[in-house]
Amino acid sequence: MQSEFVVDELSINVVTGDSPQDRNGQGFSATNAEAIITKNQETVAALSQLTNQIVKIRCANLIVSGNITNIVTQSGITKFTLSVTGVTYKKPQGVKIAYKNT
């Protein structure tokens, strides 16, 4: 099985809120990701076979791992929704961050 699947777009959504069932007053949080594929139908076919399995999806320097929970295809665009289990951001090689003292 492929270790990472490259997608055209990748976004992460985080939602928090109160939960009436929570006796400790901590509420809830949920993190999901949306991966969009418009070009590579081989990737769409491979990911479609892995529903409810943990996969790694990459777009540029962002890597998200999680379970595929939903797949929607419309007008040639396929959107995969993942329940996120991990997020990695890899700093681009050769990029230097300059800090300015004030």
CA dihedral 40, 43, 84, 69 (to 10 degrees): 110
Q: What is the number of domains present in the chain?
A: 1
Beta carbons of 12 and 66 less than 8 angstroms apart: no
Q: Which domain holds residue 74?
A: 5-89
CA 37/CA 75 separation, integer angstroms: 12
In a domain, 85, yes or no: yes
What is the structure's pLDDT at 1?
A: 52
In a domain, 96, yes or no: no
pLDDT digits 0-9 by tens, 22-77: 777 788 888 999 999 998 899 999 999 988 889 999 999 999 999 999 999 999 89
In a domain, 63, yes or no: yes
